[in-house]
Amino acid sequence: MLVIVAPGQGAQTPGFLKPWLEDPAFAARLHWLSTVAGLDLAHYGTEADAETIRDTQIAQPLLVATALVSALHLFPHPGDAFQRIGAVAGHSVGEIAAAAGARAITAEQAMVLVRERGKAMAQAAAVTPTGMTAVLGGDREEVLAAIAANGLTAANDNGPGQIVAAGTMEQLAAFADAPPAKARLRPLSVAGAFHTQHMAPAVSHLQQLAAAVTTHDARTRVISNRDGQVVHEGRDVLRRIVGQISSPVRWDLCMETMSDLGVTGILEMPPAGTLTGIAKRALKGVETFSFNGPDQIDDARAFIDKHGEPAGLDLTPTWRVVVSPAKGTFRIGAEVADAEVVAPGTSIGEVASTRDKVSVEALHGGQVVEWLVEDGDLVSPGQPLLRLYPEGSL
């Protein structure tokens, strides 16, 4: 199974788009998305220095646009991608690119959202001096305890030996004065405490915008970095993108879900290297591919051919499916077991795993066509559970 991932802020480096812009088609598509974003992304990806592209308002649109345009080079006929991709995921702002790649939102909607996300997060970061520090190594529980004791947030949990603490500069200074045993601290060059309560004002702004966005159910599994769950319904994908601004990134749980799905290959969109590096440490035996330039297109397509398989979501437009968010045992809710109609937002049951129990909701509702699993069945992330027709269509 192939999973395609998109990196978050910090992956960008000066000049990383130069080889890409030699291709007229790439340049034209980037120009279109630059117009939507209101930024000269070609300039920032080729001529701007590291300090300039560190700016949240520039870095975020630059990363999302790069992922979207380079994806079209891998899949000139985008519909073909869904016969190859088992799941998509994005780290932090990369989740917007993943959502657009899965067709939950359009590329233009993605660029408007990321433009406003970057502005709102920069404004929120300017209120109080805040920052982020990577904690490398150390005992996991001791690291988390030390972060909490200093009033900080574990804003990124990237897997074994890599947690990012975030908070005020005073809190980070106190943390640095008494670090966890056997841990190395590395301050990050970011503008604020992303994925913490300090970003709450940005969430409010994005919520207002999201209310006007038309969504579609994802064409492949989307692994949410809020909790590693598979999300399928477009409104849920969008809601999580918005809320994730002030919520920790649980990339460790995303990788657990990839493992549950049986991933064999992970391809990271440009600028690549960060997420494949984490995967090499955490997902032993899984092949990785860092896609960074047009000279790699043939090799990238060969990697896709080797690992690609359909996600198993047969999305006929006249009906909807409710899918499992996680791996575990599915229990059908007693109140819907014999129901002919399910109201929007109804819980149809829960998936119980060794980690927790997750309620499964039919966000759209509709008339029950058929149950695709039985009570007590073991299910995998993204597996269809229930088929529904929109109410009144039969």
Interval 285-321: pLDDT, tens: 999 999 999 999 999 999 999 999 876 665 555 678 9
Low-confidence ranges of the chain (pLDDT < 50): 392-394
Domain definitions of the chain by residue range: 2-124+197-307, 126-187, 320-389
State how far the Cα of 123 lies from the Cα of 239, in Å rounded to an integer: 21
Rounded CA separation 324/232 (Å): 9
In this prediction, residue 392 carries a pLDDT of: 47
Q: How confident is the model at residue 13, as a pLDDT?
A: 95
CATH class of the domain comprising 126-187: alpha beta
Q: Can you give the pLDDT at residue 309?
A: 86
Q: How far apart are CA 1 and CA 148, in angstroms?
A: 37
CATH of domain 2-124+197-307: 3.40.366.10
> Measured between alpha carbons, how far is 327 from 385 in angstroms, rounded to an integer?
12
CB count, 10 Å around CB of 318? 9
- pLDDT for residue 11: 93
Question: What is the DSSP pairing of strand 366-371 with strand 341-342?
Answer: antiparallel
The kind and range of the H/E element at 68 are helix 56-74
Question: For residue 16, is it left (φ>0), alpha (ψ between -120 and 50) or beta?
Answer: alpha
- In the block, tokens 């990697």 appear at 303
Q: Identify the bridge partners of residue 265 per DSSP, sorted by sequence position.
A: 2, 287
What secondary structure letter does DSSP report for 14? T
What are the tokens at 84?
């190859």
User: If you search the block for the tokens 């985008």, which residue do you land on?
Assistant: 78
What is the per-residue pLDDT for 312?
Answer: 66
CATH 2.60.40.1180 fits 320-389, yes or no: no
SS3 167: strand
Active site residues: 92, 195
Q: Is the pTM of this model over 0.85?
A: yes
Question: Is 361 in contact with 346 (CB distance < 8 Å)?
Answer: yes
Q: Tokens at residue 354, please?
A: 């060794």
